[in-house]
Amino acid sequence: MFEGMLNDRVTLVKKDGTVAKENIHAMVQPKTIFMDDATLPIEPGDRLLRLLPSGLVDEYIVNEPGFYSGLRGMKAHFQTKVKRSDAPAAQPSTIINNIQGNNARVNINSTDNSQNLAMEIGASETLRALREELDRSSIPADDAHAIREAIEKMETAGSKEGFREGYQSFMAAAANHVTVFAPFLGALASFL
């Protein structure tokens, strides 16, 4: 079937550089080379060389040997998938994903069936809960008064700097009673 179209001659060079066979009848296309010699030991990574009339050599790298068994009216042959050896390689790419926020996630080629519940508690709710915990505790009156003043300082702060000063006062006053306020410390620190 291909006999009349196999006008090119190629040489099969193995990966190790040895010449496996020369003068193979072929039809060279940009991405496929057709050859009717079913005995060729073609493997991915081998090279096929075609001498051009100008004296230059086209060099192709085998991606897929593509052997096809013979059928009625068509003998066994190769339809070898190739790429030019001088084809530019794909440029390496860098992908940077910055993900932030509650329950942030990335799913690539996968299905995410999870469910999330996100609650944001603001500073005022946290400070109210902090004051309630102080009222329920058995902290001595002098310490409780200093802690209450620090909570009020955080509550009335008009800026992050003011809140930070109130937070530092609170941490100093509550240092001996940290186990009472431990559940709130992470939330307070997030407001800094």
Asked whether residue 103 is domain-assigned, the answer is: no
Q: What confidence score (pLDDT) does residue 116 get?
A: 65
Of 84, 111, 146, which residue sits at a domain end?
84
* CATH number of the domain bearing residue 30: 2.40.10
118-124 CB contacts, 8 Å cutoff, 24+ apart: 121/187, 123/154, 123/155, 123/163, 123/191, 124/155
Segment among 66-80, 97-111, 164-178 with least mean pLDDT: 97-111
pLDDT (mean) for 88-103: 75
Instruction: Tally the domains of the chain.
Output: 2
Domain match, 76 and 129 both: no
Q: What are phi and psi of 182, to 5 degrees?
A: -55, -40
Kindly report, residue by residue over 22-79, the tens digit of the pLDDT: 999 999 999 999 988 889 999 999 999 999 989 899 999 999 999 988 777 778 889 9
* CATH number of the domain bearing residue 158: 1.20.1270
> Cα 11 to the chain's mean position, in Å?
41
Q: Which domain holds residue 36?
A: 3-84
pLDDT (mean) for 124-145: 90
Residue whose structure tokens are 């530092």 = 168
Q: Yes or no: say if 43 and 69 are a contact pair by the CB < 8 Å rule.
A: no
**CA atoms within 13 A of residue 18's CA, in its CB half-sphere:** 4
Asked whether residue 149 is domain-assigned, the answer is: yes
Q: What confidence score (pLDDT) does residue 107 get?
A: 75
**CA atoms within 13 A of residue 100's CA, in its CB half-sphere:** 2
Of 27, 53, 84, which residue sits at a domain end?
84
Cα gap 78→9, rounded to integer Å:
14
Domain match, 74 and 143 both: no
Asked whether residue 23 is domain-assigned, the answer is: yes
Asked whether residue 163 is domain-assigned, the answer is: yes
